[in-house]
């Protein structure tokens, strides 16, 4: 197995929807025995679309070759109807310096505010993880980013649960911090009552390295992804149904971290953590999340000038937030269609809106929203380093708002079935429709 970051330039040929047009052209560029772990439009012109992707290549005889040959974006399924309970999806992409969510857990207040307006909210670990803190509301479903993409593509259902048995893998490069990790596990058991007693140290170092993409996003690669697969297989054999990991992330410098604290660049380690969990999600369909071992603790300037970064400085392994999230993360169940699903399963049919930063409408959640006709609430105050706005994408389902406070009003209106037109002035008069001549 090999993981590489790459850039694709595709001709702009939008037809039925962005998702169908881009997915088809992208698939033609993929080599045989390769799978896109990450996929997003990062720029576009009048003629070209620029896509950044993380590609996993594998041997045709690999034990998971059949699983990896199934590329979900090539077979998206449309939302069939609006089901109850009513939920929304909150997206805070990692590695792009979000104004809300670019630091550990600082998107939690807006995420909880949105959750207060709906029956449930689906989000990914990046929105609420904050070292030792995870203060997400009780009606939030904690779903890893790749599984969340597959949920929105109509391939997965979510089964809410009260408790998971969480297993942990530890990168041997960070063996000096083993006591910190084990103390975190034991504290979670003794104080929170989480079932997380099983851990294992990987037999080989992962070789997790940061990289920067052409657009300035924080990405990365893993030298030995097989080590992760072997660890998860062993933990599953011991009965776990959720997997967390801690590993050393190489390549972060003092200058990078200082610039991140000042808000000048994305968190250097965010993107590569997502690649680790995307791999686990794809192969095993388990709840999963990751935390960085504090190997670069000496590089961190323990400043009190940026409150959004403060969670970075109150933890050694940054891992309790992961345990708390995974302990009741929903189980992931494959589904074959959306027209008839079990009543206790949350699916795309339950999603009434998707909320994203207004400058990054090129990810799978935004493309799915257009494909399925789901309102896409684009929040302009959550600025990022990207400029993939609706002024460039021109999607008819986008509702542009200036703030999360405004977004919650839109969510409540959608939940109650109140037309947004009736809430604005002036109201346009009714229009007569005449048959064609």
Residue 433 located in a structural domain = no
Give the pLDDT confidence score for residue 256 in this predicted structure. Answer: 87
- Taking the CA atoms of residue 55, residue 56, residue 59 and residue 62 in that order, the dihedral angle to the nearest 10 degrees is -150
- The two tokens of residue 385 are 């380093």
Residue 103 located in a structural domain = no
Assess whether pLDDT exceeds 60 at residue 299: no
Query: Which residues, listed in sequence order, are joined to residue 249 by a DSSP beta bridge?
Result: 208
Residue range 35-90, pLDDT digits in tens: 999 989 999 987 889 999 999 999 999 999 999 999 999 999 999 999 999 999 99
Residue 201 located in a structural domain = no
* pLDDT category of residue 305 using cuts at 50, 70 and 90: low
The whole-chain average pLDDT of the chain stands at 92
Average pLDDT over residues 110-139: 96
Among residues 395, 375, 367, 410, the alpha carbon closest in space to that of 118 is found at 410
Residue 68 located in a structural domain = yes
Average pLDDT over residues 217-236: 95
Assess whether pLDDT exceeds 90 at residue 274: yes
Assess whether pLDDT exceeds 90 at residue 425: yes
Residue 24 located in a structural domain = yes
Give the pLDDT confidence score for residue 114 in this predicted structure. Answer: 98
Q: How far is CA 250 from the centre of its chain?
A: 22
- DSSP secondary structure, 97-158, as one string: --TTTSSTTTTHHHHHHHHTTSSEEEE-GGGT-BTTB----TTEEE--HHHHHHHHTTSEEE
Cα-based angle 327, 330, 332 (whole degrees, multiple of 5): 125
Query: What percent of the chain is modeled with pLDDT above 70?
Result: 97
Query: pTM, whole model, 2 decimals?
Result: 0.94
Q: Are strands 208-212 and 218-222 parallel, antiparallel or unpaired?
A: antiparallel
Give the pLDDT confidence score for residue 315 in this predicted structure. Answer: 75
Q: How far apart are CA 64 and CA 189, in angstroms?
A: 33
Long-range (24+ apart) CB contacts under 8 A made by 230-238 are 230/202, 230/203, 231/169, 231/200, 231/202, 232/167, 232/169, 232/280, 232/283, 232/284, 232/286, 234/200, 235/167, 235/168, 235/169, 235/198, 235/200, 236/167, 236/284, 236/286, 238/167, 238/198
Give the pLDDT confidence score for residue 80 in this predicted structure. Answer: 95
Whether residue 91 contacts residue 365, with contact meaning beta carbons closer than 8 Å, is answered with yes
Residue 31 located in a structural domain = yes
Assess whether pLDDT exceeds 90 at residue 147: yes
Assess whether pLDDT exceeds 90 at residue 13: no
Whether residue 310 contacts residue 318, with contact meaning beta carbons closer than 8 Å, is answered with no
Residue 67 located in a structural domain = yes
- The two tokens of residue 320 are 């309790």
Among residues 345, 349, 350, the alpha carbon closest in space to that of 332 is found at 345
Average pLDDT over residues 292-297: 68
**Three-state secondary structure readout of 346-391:** ECHHHEEEEEEECCECCEHHHHHHHHHCCCEEEECCCCCCCCECHH
- Dihedral sign from CA coordinates of 47, 51, 57, 60: negative
Query: Which residues, listed in sequence order, are joined to residue 169 by a DSSP beta bridge?
Result: 200, 245
- The two tokens of residue 264 are 């000048």
Assess whether pLDDT exceeds 90 at residue 285: yes
Q: Are strands 156-159 and 331-334 parallel, antiparallel or unpaired?
A: antiparallel
* pLDDT category of residue 306 using cuts at 50, 70 and 90: confident
Length, in residues, of the chain: 437
Residue 27 located in a structural domain = yes
Whether residue 359 contacts residue 392, with contact meaning beta carbons closer than 8 Å, is answered with no
Provide the residue range defining the domain that includes 17: 2-72
Q: How far apart are CA 265 and CA 252, in angstroms?
A: 12
Among residues 437, 390, 373, the alpha carbon closest in space to that of 81 is found at 373
Give the pLDDT confidence score for residue 310 in this predicted structure. Answer: 77
Give the pLDDT confidence score for residue 295 in this predicted structure. Answer: 56
Structural domains in the chain (count): 1
Residue range 88-114, pLDDT digits in tens: 999 999 999 999 999 889 999 999 999
Whose tokens are 């990692």? That residue is 94
Q: How far apart are CA 246 and CA 181, in angstroms?
A: 8
């Amino acid at each position: 197995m090999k993981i590489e970051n790459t850039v694709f330039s595709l001709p702009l040929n939008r037809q039925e929807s962005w998702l169908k047009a881009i997915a088809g052209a992208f698939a033609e560029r993929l080599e045989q025995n390769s799978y896109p772990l990450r996929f997003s439009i990062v720029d576009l012109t009048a003629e070209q679309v620029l896509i950044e992707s993380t590609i996993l290549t594998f041997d045709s005889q690999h034990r998971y070759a059949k699983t990896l040959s199934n590329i979900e974006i090539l077979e998206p399924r449309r939302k069939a109807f609006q089901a109850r309970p009513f939920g929304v999806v909150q997206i805070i992409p990692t590695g792009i310096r979000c104004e809300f969510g670019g630091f550990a857990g600082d998107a939690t207040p807006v995420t909880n505010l949105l959750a207060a307006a709906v029956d449930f909210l689906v989000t990914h670990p990046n929105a609420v993880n904050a070292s030792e803190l995870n203060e997400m509301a009780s009606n939030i479903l904690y779903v890893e980013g790749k599984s969340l993409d597959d949920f929105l593509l109509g391939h997965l259902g979510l089964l809410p649960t009260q408790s998971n048995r969480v297993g942990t893998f530890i990168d041997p490069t960070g063996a000096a911090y083993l006591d910190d990790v084990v103390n975190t596990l034991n504290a979670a058991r003794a104080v929170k009552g989480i079932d997380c007693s099983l851990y294992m140290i990987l037999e080989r170092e992962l070789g997790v390295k940061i990289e920067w993409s052409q657009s300035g996003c924080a990405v990365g690669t893993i030298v030995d992804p097989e080590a992760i697969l072997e660890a998860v297989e062993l933990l599953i054999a011991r009965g776990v149904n959720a997997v967390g990991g801690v590993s050393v992330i190489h390549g972060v410098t003092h200058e990078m971290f200082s610039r991140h604290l000042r808000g000048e660049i994305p968190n250097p380690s965010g993107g590569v953590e997502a690649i680790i969990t995307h791999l686990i999600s794809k192969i095993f369909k388990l709840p999963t999340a990751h935390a960085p071992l504090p190997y670069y603790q000496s590089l961190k300037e323990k400043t009190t000038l940026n409150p959004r970064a403060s969670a970075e400085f109150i933890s050694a392994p940054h891992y309790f937030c992961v345990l708390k999230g995974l302990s009741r993360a929903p189980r992931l169940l494959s589904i074959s269609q959306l027209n008839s699903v079990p009543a206790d399963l949350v699916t795309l049919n339950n999603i009434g809106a998707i909320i994203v930063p207004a400058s990054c409408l090129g990810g799978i959640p935004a493309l799915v929203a257009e494909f399925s006709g789901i309102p896409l609430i684009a929040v302009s105050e959550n600025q990022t380093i990207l400029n993939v706005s609706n002024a460039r994408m021109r999607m008819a389902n986008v509702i542009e708002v200036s703030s999360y406070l405004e977004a919650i009003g839109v969510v409540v209106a959608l939940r109650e079935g109140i037309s947004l037109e009736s809430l604005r002035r002036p109201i346009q008069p009714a229009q007569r429709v005449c048959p064609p001549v």
